[in-house]
Amino acid sequence: MKYEVSSGKYIGIIEELRNYFLNATQTIYDGRNSLKMIPYEESDLIVKSFKIPHIINKIAYTFFRDSKAKKSYKHSVKIVEFTPEPIGYVEYFRFGLLSDSYYICKQYHYDFTIREPLVQQGFKNKEKIFRAFAAFTYDLHNYNIQHLDYSPGNILIKEIEDGYEFKIIDVNRMRFKRLTDTERLENFAKLWAKDEDLKLIIESYAKLIKMDKDEAISIVLNASQKHKDKKNLKKRLKGKRVVD
């Protein structure tokens, strides 16, 4: 196995991670990857277990690229203010090739994700949340952070005294670069938002980057529709139902 850990405090769980994960009972998400909450010492940890890659990717991840677990950790330590506190990653190998791998961070006690105000009718303080979300994204972009999977489930929101705090997760696909205005705006394309909601968000964001709001909105609506069309085409090809 290979690992990195943020502090000696977690060596115990890191070195036995596979067993901890197998025995943990609190599954918080089960999809392509699975996530469990594991209390350890005084912390509640979230452990994300990445699906075992197929043979070609096993080779690629072993010899040519960093695994998703390692990338999640490496990216998180670069953006600590913007993501739940990173703890480490672990990679297990079988016959010399990458097998299961895990990313570990602290649990973030959020109240909702950006999905809820985007899909629930009459969500409380929706406009205020959208303005705060635009400001958060502006911050992220000014730190040269481009989240390549900026989708609703990856944006966690907590209500705090004077507004909202945001954290991003699922950070294995990111770029660190100075973003152009178009790149900044196209980053909003994966929210799967209704046009009227996107308009509210982008109006706020355009003000921050001092861009004409109609021009900004048209770039985002275009990019968002392209993303929806692409995803819907994929769904249709798989015989799945299409919603938007």
List residues near Mg ion by CB under 5 A: 153-154, 170
26, 29, 233, 242: which one contacts ligand ATP (CB under 6 A)?
29
- Which is closer to Mg ion, CB of 100 or CB of 170? 170
Give me the sheet containing 112-113, strands edge to edge.
112-113, 155-160, 163-168
For residues 103-122, which are near ligand ATP according to CB under 6 A? 105, 107-108
100, 170, 193, 223: which one contacts ligand ATP (CB under 6 A)?
170
Q: How far is the CB of 84 from ligand ATP (least distance, A)?
A: 4
Q: Dmax over Cα atoms in the chain, in whole Å?
A: 57
CA distances from 74 to 69, 91, 132, 215 (A): 9, 14, 27, 36
Distance CA 189, CA 220 (A): 6
Show the site string, 123-162: x = touches ligand ATP by CB under 6 A, - = not. Answer: ------------------------------xx--------
- Which is closer to ligand ATP, CB of 37 or CB of 211? 37
- One DSSP character per residue, 72-110 reads HHHHHHHSGGGSSPEEEEEEEEETTEEEEEEEEEE----
Q: Which does 108 bind (CB under 5 to 8 A by kind): Mg ion, ligand ATP, none?
A: ligand ATP
Q: Which two tokens stand for residue 5?
A: 């850990």
Residue with tokens 């010899």: 63
Q: How far is the CB of 62 from ligand ATP (least distance, A)?
A: 20
Sites of contact with ligand ATP (CB under 6 A): 28-29, 31-33, 35, 46, 48, 84, 105, 107-108, 153-154, 169-170
